[in-house]
Amino acid sequence: MISYFQKGFNYGQDGPGNRLVIHLQGCNMHCPWCANPEGLKPYRKEHPIKHPPPGNHTASNLEIVSEIIECRSLFFDGGGVTFTGGEATLQFEALKDILVLLKKEGIHTALETNGTHLKLEMLFPLLDVLMIDCKQVDSKIHKNITGISNINILKNIRKAARLHPHLLVRVPLINGFNILDRDLKNFLDFVGELKQLQPDHSINFEFLPYHEYGKIKWEAQGRDYLVENGFVPEETLRKFQEAFRENAISLIET
């Protein structure tokens, strides 16, 4: 069985082409800017809920696979299915079994992940596109804000840089968290390390400037939205982008 809170189509945002995007329930981080707080279950007692969260649907692995196969005609322009969250790898065994069946059917597969799972490498052969967040290189800052260390994240990004041909590393930029000059230097140093690991193909990077799309959801659930002034100045975004270009880093801009 697999548990999810949302699914639907979008084009070009969660991998190439038109894609069915399935948001799996649960997350092992508590990023205060999260756009999908309904995927953060289980809820902590200190955050009483005014309204029950939407979703929390369950389906068997075969039911999910059958639905995806039925949608095959809609996967145009290189589309397919993307699993995201919450954090999809918290339901690791179910996710792996579903991906195995989808690859047998020739369905294009993608995963958006925070990169924390110790066995993430096992999914590499089953994924056409792998998207991993790199929120902060400094481990102490990362743990203070998200509640979890980034040690496994950085390890998995290094592994993916060596082993996966279609890796997209996404960096959400948030004021007060990761936009200082020292943060930019840390990102560049880490990316330089990745380029040494895999010189044969480029690793794509994408900056995701802070937005407040999830704020209304936090408030609807009776939770305090704790981010204040998280927006990133345009000149800061340009500085990060230009620094990556100057270091010959492949950058996706939307």
The domain total for the chain is 1
| pLDDT at residue 56, rounded to an integer | 76
Domain ranges, residue 130? 2-252
Distance (Å, rounded) from C-alpha 132 to C-alpha 113? Answer: 5
SS3 content of the chain, % helix, strand, coil (to 5): 40, 20, 40
Helix (H, G, I), strand (E, B) or coil at 134: coil
Where residue 159 sits, what CATH number does that domain have? Answer: 3.20.20.70
Structure tokens at 175: 């004021």
Strand ranges, E, within the chain: 2-11, 18-24, 57-59, 80-84, 109-113, 129-133, 167-173, 204-209, 251-252
| pLDDT at residue 248, rounded to an integer | 86
Do residues 179 and 236 make contact, with C-beta atoms less than 8 angstroms apart? yes
- Mean predicted lDDT score pLDDT of the chain: 91
| pLDDT at residue 54, rounded to an integer | 46
pLDDT band at residue 52 using 50, 70 and 90 as cut-offs: very low
Residues in the chain: 254
Terminal CA-CA length for the chain: 35
pLDDT band at residue 47 using 50, 70 and 90 as cut-offs: very low
pLDDT band at residue 201 using 50, 70 and 90 as cut-offs: low
| pLDDT at residue 183, rounded to an integer | 98
Structure tokens at 247: 């270091």
Single pTM value for the model = 0.92
User: Do the strands 2-11 and 57-59 form a parallel or antiparallel pair, or are they unpaired?
Assistant: antiparallel
Q: What percent of the chain has pLDDT over 70?
A: 92
Mean pLDDT over residues 82-102, rounded?
96
